[in-house]
């Protein structure tokens, strides 16, 4: 549905424009829709997206669920995108970064050598 390549950079923010080369979406729903197609290689999240637009934490929670259940790897055959949070909301940033760490920890556990 989206014409972008498989190496898309997705910028989720209601106010700050996306840097050059990034696709800019302003709602959690739009972000999840694009992420669900498995074409994103980098994701940058703001927490506060505005009234009725959801928030960046909803996006990362969706991604965390599909990664930790194994769906992401099975459906797309690749690792989830690199994720950064650029929110200035301190509490929102802490919550998003905790979910990012959870995803990173899970992905690391898949690559850890088995103990003999």
CA distance 44 to 41: 10
- Residue 1 is assigned to a structural domain of this protein: no
Tokens representing 85 are: 């949070």
- Residue 42 is assigned to a structural domain of this protein: yes
pLDDT per residue as tens digits for the range 4-63 = 556 899 999 999 999 999 999 999 999 999 999 999 999 999 999 999 999 999 999 999
CATH of the domain at 30: 3.40.50
- What DSSP string runs through 38-91? T-EEEEEE-SB--TTS-BHHHHHHHHHHHHHTSHHHHHHSSPPPEEEE----HH
Domain that holds residue 71: 8-111
pTM for the predicted model, two decimal places: 0.88
pLDDT for 21 equals 95
pLDDT per residue as tens digits for the range 87-114 = 999 999 999 999 999 999 999 888 755 5
């Amino acid at each position: 549905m989206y014409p972008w390549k498989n190496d898309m950079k997705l910028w989720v923010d209601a106010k700050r424009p996306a840097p050059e080369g990034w696709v800019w979406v302003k709602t959690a729903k739009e972000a999840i829709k694009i992420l669900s197609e498995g074409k994103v290689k980098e994701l940058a999240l703001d927490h506060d997206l505005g009234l009725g637009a959801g928030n960046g934490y909803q996006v990362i929670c969706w991604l965390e669920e599909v990664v930790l259940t194994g769906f992401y790897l099975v459906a797309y055959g690749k690792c989830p995108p690199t994720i950064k949070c650029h929110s200035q909301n301190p509490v929102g940033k802490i919550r998003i970064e905790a979910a990012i760490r959870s995803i990173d920890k899970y992905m690391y556990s898949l690559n850890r050598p088995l103990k003999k």
